[in-house]
Amino acid sequence: MNKSKAPIFKDKNGIRLRNSVANISPISIRGNKQWILVRGRNIQKPLLLFLHGGPGVTTMGFASKLQRQLEEHFICVHWDQRGAGKSYDKRVFNDHLTIDDYVEDIRVLSIYLSQKYNKQKIILVGRSWGTIIGSLAAHRYPELFHAYIGIGQVVHMMEGERMLIYGVDLTGGKSRIYCWRKVGSSGFSGDERRVWRTLGPTHAESIYRNRLLTPC
């Protein structure tokens, strides 16, 4: 898949399937350009909106390789969330980005997809980080969704992060749990730098610099 096209669906004669959809395009969500990939063999089928993990771990680049069977029965939509993948914009990280921002983006995108593809409601599918914003969206706006599906569902955000820190800390040969700390103008503490190296800059920047997690 190149930067602007998604492979189309064809019949055995190489002709595009009449009711299929396969496109990748930007849309404006609350004033920010964000990209979606839409694929399905029949636009009359129910619509699945996938929420990737991370934050920042997008799936658009390889989605079509993993969901071929789903594309027989659903319209599959992959969305590069605000600041991630094709939706990356460094200006996003100058703002005080919160979980509520992502939840509101889901609301706007869900309404857009329902109207564009003539659906009364859609199905929301979250993975890892996507389950946090997905479950909140489903709770706040149940009128938009037929169902919510959580894959690797986060059930206790801070406890999960404490366990992660504990695991990271064990690799350093110590045995106590560190709590999250806010990052001030002086940068990261030694413990925070170790987490940064382990998680990688995309994930860690989202956690620390954008205050997506409440410190202990």
Residue 213 lies in a domain: no
> Same domain, yes or no, for 35 and 109?
yes
**Domain span at residue 179?**
157-208
Residue 87 lies in a domain: yes
Domain count, the chain: 2
Q: Under 8 Å CB-to-CB from 3, ≥6 apart: which residues?
A: none
pLDDT tens for each residue of 169-204? 444 544 333 344 433 333 444 444 444 344 444 444
pLDDT tens for each residue of 113-163? 999 999 999 999 999 999 999 999 999 999 999 999 999 898 877 777 666
Residue 5 lies in a domain: no
> Same domain, yes or no, for 31 and 119?
yes
Kindly report whether the global pTM for this prediction surpasses the value 0.85.
no
> Same domain, yes or no, for 73 and 163?
no
Residue 12 lies in a domain: no
> Same domain, yes or no, for 176 and 124?
no
**Which of helix, strand or coil describes residue 164?**
helix
CA distances from 92 to 85, 125, 188 (A): 13, 24, 21
> Same domain, yes or no, for 128 and 175?
no
Provide the pLDDT for residue 85: 84
> Same domain, yes or no, for 84 and 183?
no
